[in-house]
Chains A and B, each alone.
Chain A
Amino acid sequence: EAQVTQNPRYLITVTGKKLTVTCSQNMNHEYMSWYRQDPGLGLRQIYYSMNVEVTDKGDVPEGYKVSRKEKRNFPLILESPSPNQTSLYFCASSLKENRDTQYFGPGTRLTVL
């Protein structure tokens, strides 16, 4: 089944403890992206990747890192999480030639205490 998977789905952590949220897609998509969703602010783009080893910042990249070493994986790294990064995170992917049709993962609910 074609899908985008994220792990973990739920995570409670403490300030400053490094964490990684994984994202994987099995559709051979070139484009991948991370978003965060907060009440009243909607979905905001954190980082995106046009292909392997090619990444760029979205609207809210501060406090996040990403890497794209393989086409199928696009992990989101929080080196030193803070409470203001408590949010619902979504990973998405799409084909390069049909980039606007993004397929989203199920989301990761992160709480930073």
Chain B
Amino acid sequence: LAKTTQPISMDSYEGQEVNITCSHNNIATNDYITWYQQFPSQGPRFIIQGYKTKVTNEVASLFIPADRKSSTLSLPRVSLSDTAVYYCLVTTSGTYKYIFGTGTRLKVLA
């Protein structure tokens, strides 16, 4: 499983776009990049997954460059309710193990 590195914490203000970058230098051909969100006192929640280029859903966008050694989760116009921990995972097709790491603690300020 490829190891990921992401910032420990970030602060932002309401209404701003937030970009959280994750580094995964040892990503393999069969690996996907998956992001989860965890609110205080709750279990993590799946946000988005991608393999290459750009993926967008109602919650976020995920940008993956051609070399796939990093990825960026983009949250448009954050609100106070987006305050959470965001986890970047590299998931390998055919395996059942998951490494969540410590995530990025995002704090949105008024």
Binding partners A and B: yes
B87 within 8 A of A: yes
Most chain A CB within a 10 A radius of its CB, from B41, B43, B44, B99: B43
Contact of A106 among B36, B43, B100 (CB under 8 A): B43
The interface size bin for chain A is 20 to 34
B96 touching A41, Cβ below 8 Å:
no
Whole-angstrom distance between the Cβ of A87 and the nearest chain B Cβ: 14
A102 within 8 A of B: yes
B interface list, Cβ under 8 A from A: 32, 34, 36, 41-46, 49, 87, 89, 91, 96-103
A interface list, Cβ under 8 A from B: 4, 31, 33, 35, 40-45, 48, 50, 56, 58-59, 90, 92, 99-107
Contact of B96 among A48, A103, A105 (CB under 8 A): A48
A45 touching B101, Cβ below 8 Å:
no
